[in-house]
Homo-oligomer: A and B are copies of this chain.
Amino acid sequence: MPPTQSSRTSRQRVKDGGTSAKSPSPRGARPSRGTVTLSDVAELAGVSSMTVSRVLNRPETVAPETVETVRKAIARTGYVPNLLAGALATTRTKLVAAIVPTISGSIFAACIQSLTDRLEVAGYQMLLGLSGYPAAREEGLLNAILSRRPDALFLTGTTHSAQSRRRLRGAKIPIVETWDLSAKPIDMAVGFSHQRVGRDAAQFLFKKGYRRFAAIGAEDERAKIRWKSYLAALTELGVDDVASITTPAPTNLWMGRDGLSKLIADGFTHGAVFCSSDALAHGVLVEAQARGLSVPGDIAVIGFGDLDFAAFTVPALTTVRIDRFAVGRLAAEAILSRLAGEPVAEKVIDVGFQIIEREST
């Protein structure tokens, strides 16, 4: 085992020219618990702590043999830098914080994955905050996160309290709002238009020849925008009697089954159903199957999200695909170029979406 603790007591070189407290200070913070510090390394190497710092950060400014000596001392002591101290001195934490509602649903997980991957190669770490679904905790979470002085922020959605927006502006760091493009961004935005998703879905179905329509929509902030826009687009197309059902968020398959049951009870036995999520759409398919309805013959279904399972298992499900990895990747690029001082090409990046049609099988 490398001499960590012991190197503090039994010192070969009694240099003692520094500020290192020899006598136990009568007051002040308690001595650090046996952690190896820069000056421990410096002492062992017989140089000043500044030199060690330089070896770590800009070795090219230090004489090669000094570097060698210091490197050995670092290895021998098992020194682990304290980025807290470094960050305090430089006001740069090399930390990027991300706030997402949840990570377990795999919708945001992909974003976080590509974001983290990209940031990591640039030497940044990820501070993850989960705000819960109705973004209930965002306020407090934001405070806790800003307390750690991240160099940049990745947010989900564009609806924040006035208080939050003020704090965010005050932080004066690069901020990317994702997953939505509707509002004016605080700083930068990467996402797509939920409004256009709804509209395009309506037009897509209309062009396919459907004339009877229904919708099952979650009461989630963004989901609402989608299905309301769908309804609005249908109205513009001259379709007025759209049966529509709302469900709480987050959605699941059972809500979709229930939804179709209700629609059928209301007399909707054939036509196209827009669902604000794939989970709902999936439920509709299952219910249709259970009732012996053909898809898309009797009932056509369009979902949203293109979740993994949908791609493989629900060949009859048409859905709207968002490249979730692209969201994270583009957000990372935006953050990094900002952090590098480069001007960002576009403050608002639309990743767009695709309507993936699956009818065969």
Question: Is A125 touching B113 in the complex (CB atoms < 8 A)?
Answer: no
Closest to A308 in B: B309
Question: How far apart are the CA atoms of A122 and B143 in the complex, in Å?
Answer: 15
Closest to A307 in B: B309
Question: Is B84 touching A88 in the complex (CB atoms < 8 A)?
Answer: yes
Q: Is A242 an interface residue (CB 8 A)?
A: no
What mask results when residues 101 to 124 of chain A are scored 1 for a CB within 8 Å of chain B, else 0? 011111001101110110010010
Which residues from chain B contact A105 at a C-beta distance below 8 Å? 106, 109
Q: Is A130 an interface residue (CB 8 A)?
A: yes
Question: How far apart are the CA atoms of A110 and B78 in the complex, in Å?
Answer: 34
Binds B, one of A11-19, A146-154, A186-194, A266-274: A146-154
Question: Is B130 touching A89 in the complex (CB atoms < 8 A)?
Answer: no
Q: Is A8 an interface residue (CB 8 A)?
A: no
What mask results when residues 133 to 144 of chain A are scored 1 for a CB within 8 Å of chain B, else 0? 000010001011
Closest to A312 in B: B253
Q: Is A80 an interface residue (CB 8 A)?
A: yes
Q: Is A243 an interface residue (CB 8 A)?
A: no
Question: How far apart are the CA atoms of A254 and B145 in the complex, in Å?
Answer: 41
Which residues from chain B contact A148 at a C-beta distance below 8 Å? 83-84, 95, 125
Question: How far apart are the CA atoms of A148 and B106 in the complex, in Å?
Answer: 27
Question: How far apart are the CA atoms of A235 and B88 in the complex, in Å?
Answer: 61
What mask results when residues 239 to 254 of chain A are scored 1 for a CB within 8 Å of chain B, else 0? 0000000000000010
Please judge, given known A-B contacts A91-B33, A113-B102, whether A78 and B166 are in contact too, CB under 8 Å. Answer: yes
Among B33, B113, B125, B130, the residue within 8 A (CB) of A127 is B125
What mask results when residues 1 to 40 of chain A are scored 1 for a CB within 8 Å of chain B, else 0? 0001000000000000000000000000100110100000
Q: Is A293 an interface residue (CB 8 A)?
A: no
Q: Is A313 an interface residue (CB 8 A)?
A: yes
27 contacts between A and B (CB under 8 A): A80-B170, A82-B149, A84-B84, A84-B93, A85-B88, A88-B88, A95-B148, A103-B103, A104-B106, A104-B109, A104-B112, A109-B109, A112-B128, A117-B130, A120-B141, A125-B127, A125-B128, A125-B129, A125-B145, A125-B148, A126-B128, A126-B130, A128-B128, A307-B309, A309-B312, A309-B313, A313-B314
- Rank and list the top 5 A-B pairs by shortest CB-CB distance, nearest first: A309-B309, A104-B113, A313-B313, A83-B147, A106-B106
Residues on A facing B (Cβ under 8 Å): 4, 29, 32-33, 35, 78, 80-85, 87-89, 91, 93, 95, 102-106, 109-110, 112-114, 116-117, 120, 123, 125-130, 137, 141, 143-149, 166-167, 170-172, 253, 282, 286, 307-309, 312-314, 325
